[in-house]
């Protein structure tokens, strides 16, 4: 058997982080099994689906490195298939026309609420007589199609993540709508989610349905549809929800929901994919946390997906991102940083200054956690105005610092082309001359150059700054003030 899995996003918004994680799990499983990963865009909800969201979702999956083998298929182009299935269920007497008006359904729900009953359709049109049907038709009522759910049925499956699962038919909200009311003269309207999914999963020979646990109730309903349509029931695996650090479902309120939010915050795709796989999956060696998609694919099995909700941990994501940034060669990393520098308004020529930018990248890379950190980390090397933070200011106000700067400026005049060795030599000379500690000179120099006490390697930065022809008034100003 060839494993065939799918990701089935609805293009009603940008690529959601939960969908991205589900896509990662499906991709890993397909690759581990030597199977196929299929993309199906579930765009039957015309009022909410947009092409730009489809675009965003497909580009996002590609950006993460989740290459697919088949698709993208679009449900909107497969409507005939769903209509045939609805007709088949009607013909077999497994579905029927329900003529209830929205008002009647609302009254029914109100009454259920008043009786403290769970809301659901009470199957009142399941057994209409031909006369009743005729009356509703002549009244001009447009029916939805409902699929019969036997309330006494026990639906069970062996979930690959959650183990034995059982649902009672009576807990599924009554006979399920599978097609909307028709707009015009068609026998029935737009087929609905559960029906379309099952028709597609049968047609696409999906062997494993891996999706979020918010679909568990749908799975119970879908199993009944597989049976009714004569399809082979796939395996199901429900992955845990992504929770915020407080343990509630990650939502808009947490400020990040779409993959773009993470991208804009300066995370690289390798790190996001890596972090996504750890959201709910534990590697056989639980101490290992850094994996490329290919490395994880070698190890990924569904029995190591956890049942418990996966808490989002920003520190871990940051740490993983930094690991990838630190490993990246400056020649590659530089292209990821350039847009951040440009957005910050730093002046440079991406082509003409490339060598210099690469060197700068090499210097700041070890201090980057997110790409966006490059703006602050390289501030001193672009432009000339610096602002002092509290500690930087305190440092330059220390006794003896002005004299140290004056000595550095005198010494540097002898080095039109300062090498790292020259820079160290200057610091050594000044240390000796002023009879202070080397650390004090270094700290003061850093404060004078950057306004802060922390930052990338001082010697390397200083050398690079020198090469770009820095404005020595940086130290001069501090001397004069
Ligand atoms: N379109 C559904 C969603 O975006 C996918 C359901 C499924 O994977 O079966 O949640």
d(CA 22, CA 96): 34
pLDDT (0 to 100) of residue 372: 97
Asked, for residue 357, whether it belongs to a domain, the answer is yes
**Within a domain: 312:** yes
Residue closest via CA to ligand 1's atom 6 equals 8
In a domain, 454, yes or no: yes
In 3D space, the residue among 40, 117, 50, 35 whose CA is nearest the CA of residue 75 turns out to be 40
Kindly report the CATH number assigned to the domain that includes residue 373.
Answer: 1.10.8.70
Q: Are residues 184 and 99 in the same domain?
A: yes
Tell me how far the alpha carbon of residue 8 lies from the centroid of ligand 1, in angstroms.
5
Total number of domains constituting the chain = 4
Predicted local confidence at residue 478, as pLDDT: 62
Distance CA 91, CA 236 (A): 29
State the Cα angle at 46 between 43 and 48, rounded to 5°: 90
Task: Check residue 382 and give its pLDDT.
Answer: 82
| 298 assigned to active site | no
- What mean pLDDT is predicted for residues 190-197? 96
Residue having the nearest C-alpha atom to atom 4 of ligand 1: 9
Residue 116 within a domain: yes
Assigned domain for 352 exists: yes
Mean pLDDT within 157-174: 97
Return the ligand 1 atom nearest residue 42 CA.
1
Distance of CA 183 from the midpoint of ligand 1 (Å): 25
CATH number at residue 455: 1.10.10.350
Ligand 1 center from residue 91 Cα (angstroms): 28
The pLDDT value recorded for residue 192 is 95
Nearest-CA residue for ligand 1 atom 7 is: 8
From 217-226, 331-340, 426-435, 450-459, the region with the lowest mean pLDDT:
450-459
Least reliable range by pLDDT among 3-7, 119-123, 373-377: 373-377
Q: Are residues 91 and 109 in the same domain?
A: yes
Domain boundary at 344, 377, 410, which? 377
Residue 249 and residue 3: Cα distance in Å, rounded?
Answer: 31
State pLDDT tens for residues 38-51: 999 999 888 899 99
Q: In the prediction, which pLDDT does 253 show?
A: 79
Q: What is the reported pLDDT for 481?
A: 52
Domain assignment of residue 131, yes or no: yes
Residue 9 CA, closest ligand 1 atom number: 4
Among 4, 39, 42, residue to substitute to test ligand 1 (most atoms within 8 Å of Cβ): 42
Q: Which domain holds residue 371?
A: 328-377
Q: What is the 3-state secondary structure (H, E, C) of the chain?
A: CCCEEEECCCCCCCCEHHHHHHHHHHHHHHHHHCCEEEEEECCCCCCCCCHHHHHHHHHHHHHHCCCCCEEEEEHHHCHHHHHHHHHHHHHCCCEEEECCCHHHHHHHHHHHHHCCCCCCCCCCCCCCCHHHHHHHHHHCCCCEEEECCCCCCEEEEEECCCEEEEEEHHHCCCCEEEECCCCCCCCCCCECHHHHHHHHHHHCCCCEEEEEHHHHHHHHHHHHHHHHHCCCCCEEEEECCEECCCCCECCHHHCCCEHHHHHHCCCCHHHHHHHHHHCCECCCCCCCCCCCHHHHHHHCCHHHECCCCEECCHHHHHHHHHHHHHHCCHHHHHHHHHHHHHHCCCCCCCCCCHHHHHHHHHHHHHHCCCCCHHHHHCHHHCCCCCCCCHHHHHHHCCCCHHHHHHHHHHHHCCCCCCCHHHHHHHHHHHHHHHCCCHHHHHHHHHHHHHCCCCCCCHHHHHHHHHHCCCCCHHHHHHHHC
Mutate which of 20, 73, 197, 207 to test ligand 1's pocket (most atoms within 8 Å of Cβ)? Answer: 197
**Separation of CA 41 and ligand 1 centre (Å):** 9
Calculate the dihedral angle through the C-alpha atoms of 136, 140, 146, 150, rounding to the nearest 10 degrees. Answer: -10
**53 and 2 inside one domain:** yes
Same domain, 470 and 394: yes
CA angle 210, 216, 221 (to 5 degrees): 105
Omega of the bond prior to 72 within 30 degrees of 0, cis? yes
Region of poorest pLDDT, from 59-73, 243-257, 289-303: 243-257
Query: Is 345 a domain residue?
Result: yes
Ligand 1 atom closest to the CA of 197, numbered from 1: 9
Q: What is the mean pLDDT of residues 147-168?
A: 97
b/e 4-33 (16+ beta carbons within 10 angstroms → b): bbbbbbbbebbbbbbbbbbbbbbbbbbbbb
Active-site residue among 252, 391, 432, 443? 252
Pocket test of ligand 1: the residue of 7, 10, 237 to mutate, having most ligand atoms within 8 Å of its CB, is: 10
Distance of CA 71 to the CA centre of its chain: 21
pLDDT in tens, 390-400: 999 999 999 99
State the closest ligand 1 atom to the C-alpha of 193, by its place in the atom list counted from 1: 1
Q: HSE (CB half, 13 Å, CA atoms) of 285? A: 8
pLDDT at 384: 57
Domain CATH number, residue 127: 3.90.800.10
Is residue 361 domain-shared with residue 290, that is, in the same domain?
no
In this structure, which residue's CA is closest to atom 5 in ligand 1?
8
Q: Same structural domain for residues 43 and 19?
A: yes
Instruction: Retrieve residue 285's tokens.
Output: 């060696």
Contact, 34 vs 3, CB < 8 A?
A: yes
**Residue 418 sits in the same domain as residue 402:** yes
CA of 21 to the centre of ligand 1 (A): 13
Q: In the predicted model, what is the mean pLDDT of the chain?
A: 94
Closest C-alpha residue for ligand 1 atom 10: 9
* pLDDT score of 245 more than 80: yes
Which ligand 1 atom is at minimum distance from the Cα of 201? 9
User: What atom in ligand 1 is closest to the CA of residue 222?
Assistant: 9
The answer to the question of residue 210 being in a domain is no
Is beta strand 208-212 parallel, antiparallel or unpaired with respect to 235-239?
parallel
Q: Same domain for 270 and 256?
A: yes
How many angstroms is it from 151 CA to the middle of ligand 1? Answer: 25
Closest Cα to atom 3 of ligand 1: 9
Q: Are residues 275 and 297 in the same domain?
A: yes
Same domain, 129 and 152: yes
Q: In the block, which residue shows the tokens 């540097």?
A: 412
Instruction: Provide residues with CB under 6 Å of ligand 1.
Output: 8-10, 42, 197, 211, 215
Residue 323 sits in the same domain as residue 343: no
Q: Which CATH number fits the domain that encloses residue 14?
A: 3.40.50.620
Residues 336 and 323 in one domain: no
């Amino acid at each position: 058997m060839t494993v065939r899995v799918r990701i089935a996003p609805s293009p009603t918004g940008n690529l959601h982080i939960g969908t991205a994680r589900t896509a990662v799990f499906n991709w890993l499983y397909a690759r581990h099994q030597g199977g196929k990963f299929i993309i199906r865009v579930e765009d039957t909800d015309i009022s909410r689906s947009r092409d730009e969201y489809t675009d965003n979702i497909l580009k996002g999956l590609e950006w993460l490195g989740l290459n697919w083998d088949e698709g993208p298929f679009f449900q909107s182009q497969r409507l005939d298939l769903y209509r045939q299935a609805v007709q088949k269920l009607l013909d077999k007497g497994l579905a029927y026309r329900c003529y209830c008006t929205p008002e009647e359904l609302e009254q029914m729900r109100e009454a259920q609420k008043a009786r403290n009953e769970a809301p659901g359709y009470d199957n009142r049109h399941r057994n209409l007589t031909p006369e009743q049907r005729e009356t509703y038709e002549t009244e001009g009522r447009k029916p939805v199609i409902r699929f019969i759910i036997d309330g006494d049925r026990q639906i069970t499956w062996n979930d690959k993540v959650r183990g034995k699962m059982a649902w009672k038919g009576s807990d599924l909200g009554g006979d399920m709508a599978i097609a909307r009311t028709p707009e015009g003269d068609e026998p029935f309207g737009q087929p609905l989610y559960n029906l379309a999914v099952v028709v597609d999963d049968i047609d696409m020979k999906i062997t494993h349905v891996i999706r979020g646990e918010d679909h568990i109730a749908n799975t119970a309903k879908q199993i009944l549809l597989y049976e009714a349509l004569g399809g082979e029931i796939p395996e199901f695996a429900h992955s845990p929800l992504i929770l915020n650090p407080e343990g509630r479902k990650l939502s808009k309120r947490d400020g990040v929901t779409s993959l773009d939010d993470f991208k804009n915050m300066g995370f690289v795709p390798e790190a996001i994919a890596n972090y996504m796989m750890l959201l709910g999956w534990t590697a056989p060696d639980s101490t290992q946390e850094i994996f490329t998609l290919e490395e994880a694919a070698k190890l990924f099995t569904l029995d190591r997906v956890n049942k418990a909700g996966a808490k989002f941990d920003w520190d871990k994501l940051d740490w993983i991102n930094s690991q990838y940034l630190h490993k990246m060669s400056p020649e590659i990393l530089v292209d990821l940083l350039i847009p951040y520098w440009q957005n910050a308004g730093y002046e440079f020529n991406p082509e003409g200054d490339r060598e210099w930018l690469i060197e700068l990248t090499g210097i700041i890379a070890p201090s980057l956690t997110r790409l966006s950190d490059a703006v602050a980390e390289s501030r001193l090397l672009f432009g000339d105005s610096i602002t002092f933070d509290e500690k930087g200011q305190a440092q330059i106000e220390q006794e003896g610092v002005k004299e140290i700067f004056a000595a550095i400026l005198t010494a540097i005049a002898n080095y039109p082309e300062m090498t790292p060795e020259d820079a160290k030599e200057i610091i050594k000379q000044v240390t000796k001359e002023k009879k202070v500690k080397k650390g004090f000179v270094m700290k003061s120099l850093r404060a004078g150059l950057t306004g802060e006490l922390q930052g990338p390697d001082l010697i390397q930065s200083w050398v690079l700054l020198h090469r770009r022809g820095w404005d020595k008034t940086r130290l001069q100003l501090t001397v004069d003030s």
